[in-house]
Amino acid sequence: MKAFIVDRYGRADSVRAGEMPEPELREDDVLVQVHAAGVNALDNKIRSGEFKLILPFRLPLILGNDVAGVVVRVGSRVRRFKAGDEVYARPHHNRIGAFAEFIAMNEADVALKPKALTMEEAASIPLVGLTAWQALIERAGLKKGQKVLIHAGSGGVGTFAIQLAKHVGATVATTASAANADLVRRLGADIVIDYKKDDFARTLRDFDVVLDTQGGEVLEKSPQVLRPGGKVIGIAGPPDPDFANDIGSNRLVGLVMRFLSRRIRKEARRRHVSYSFLFMRADGDQLREIGALIDSGIIRPVVDRVFPFEATKEALAYVETGRAKGKVVIRVR
């Protein structure tokens, strides 16, 4: 089958088009013919080797962490799906590979595609939808009347997280450029901070939750906007010791993560708030709940551009610029 492959970690030109064997179907798997695949910053980070400490992939590797398509075969123990079902998924992180004509996934990671969406729209949802759900609903326990700051509101995670937080009944602040202010307001943002002109840490106070998608200085300043007991949840790093325990890292990797996160954890403790790193997990049950919100019209996808399959490298390069509004998608079939 045709696929886009990484043979060695490195620059953008380390991704190549090539032929790979059709994936092996295990007894709990569905084999999906890929119609569309979402493109994420995570794909570029995997390609560059940034995550090889916590995600030790075996190379060569097919990239792609978001998929929508049609089931063509099922394993002997599969009960939820049958051939012909239209589905979407974020594959388990050990079994990524959406930039290909076929992908095999455990049925527990898969859900029926929302009826309201095209394949391209559906492929834009799983990774960012699960990230927002696991950060705001599962970990933060966001409730009606609380206040949440979502960094980079016009990005893939941001556009979904704003809508989810408004559905819960929270007051939503976000950072965005002036050019994207109208977009994030239409999605439900109550307060928009122009990050090019204004300092969010000087403007916002007594928030309950911060969802950080940026890392670096933005993350380090985020505890300043929280009330005591508030939570910073970061998806751009650095990983913390709890994450090391969750993935069963060895002692050395755990020490590295403790060292990398020491500064933000110290600042959080000083302000009587908490910091945790989230690396979202595949979850078909949560995708079903997300699909119900989409089919009800509560959440809508935001797709910036759709690239043809043969332009996958160009799609990865476009995502790497950081200028996409919402998601970038590859049309495979």
Per-residue model confidence as pLDDT tens digits over 280-307 = 999 999 999 999 999 999 999 999 999 9
Quick one: 52 and 157 in the same domain? no
Task: Evaluate if residue 237 carries a pLDDT over 90.
Answer: no
Amino acid at 262: R
pLDDT at 249: 76
Quick one: 113 and 131 in the same domain? no
| CATH number of the domain bearing residue 36 | 3.90.180.10
Separation of first and last alpha carbons in the chain: 13
Q: What is the mean pLDDT of residues 197-212?
A: 97
Residue 206 is assigned to a structural domain of this protein? yes
Residue 150 structural domain: 127-277
Per-residue model confidence as pLDDT tens digits over 245-283 = 877 777 888 888 888 899 999 999 999 999 999 999 999
Per-residue model confidence as pLDDT tens digits over 38-75 = 999 999 999 999 888 777 788 999 999 999 999 999 99
Out of 110-114, 249-253, 265-269, 314-318, pick the least confident: 249-253
Element housing 303 (H / E): strand 303-308
Distances (CA, A) of 178 to 183, 199, 305: 10, 14, 20
User: CB of 280 within 8 A of CB of 235?
Assistant: yes
Residue 295 is assigned to a structural domain of this protein? no
CB atoms within 10 A of CB 212: 26
Quick one: 223 and 264 in the same domain? yes
Q: What angle do CA 88, 128, 216 make, to 5 degrees?
A: 155
Residues in a beta bridge with 71: 32
DSSP 21: P
Quick one: 228 and 325 in the same domain? no
- Give the integer Cα–Cα distance in Å for 309 and 304: 16
The two most distant CA atoms of the chain are separated, in Å, by 58
Quick one: 12 and 99 in the same domain? yes
Element housing 211 (H / E): strand 207-212
Nearest to 330 by CA among 18, 69, 155: 69
pLDDT at 250: 79
Which residue did the predictor score with more confidence, 109 or 252?
Answer: 109
Mean pLDDT of all residues in the chain?
Answer: 95
Quick one: 220 and 246 in the same domain? yes
Percentage of the chain with pLDDT > 90?
Answer: 88
Task: Evaluate if residue 211 carries a pLDDT over 90.
Answer: yes
Quick one: 107 and 238 in the same domain? no
Q: What is the DSSP string of 222-263?
A: GGGGEEEEEEEEESSS---HHHHHHTT--HHHHHHHHHHTHH
Task: Evaluate if residue 110 carries a pLDDT over 90.
Answer: yes
Residue 293 is assigned to a structural domain of this protein? no
Q: Which residues fall within 8 angstroms of residue 255, CB to CB, at 6 or more apart? A: none
| CATH number of the domain bearing residue 241 | 3.40.50.720
pLDDT at 254: 84
pLDDT at 89: 98
Residue 76 is assigned to a structural domain of this protein? yes
3-state SS class at 156: helix
Number of domains in the chain: 2
User: CB of 278 within 8 A of CB of 233?
Assistant: yes
pLDDT at 244: 78
Quick one: 170 and 89 in the same domain? no
pLDDT at 309: 98
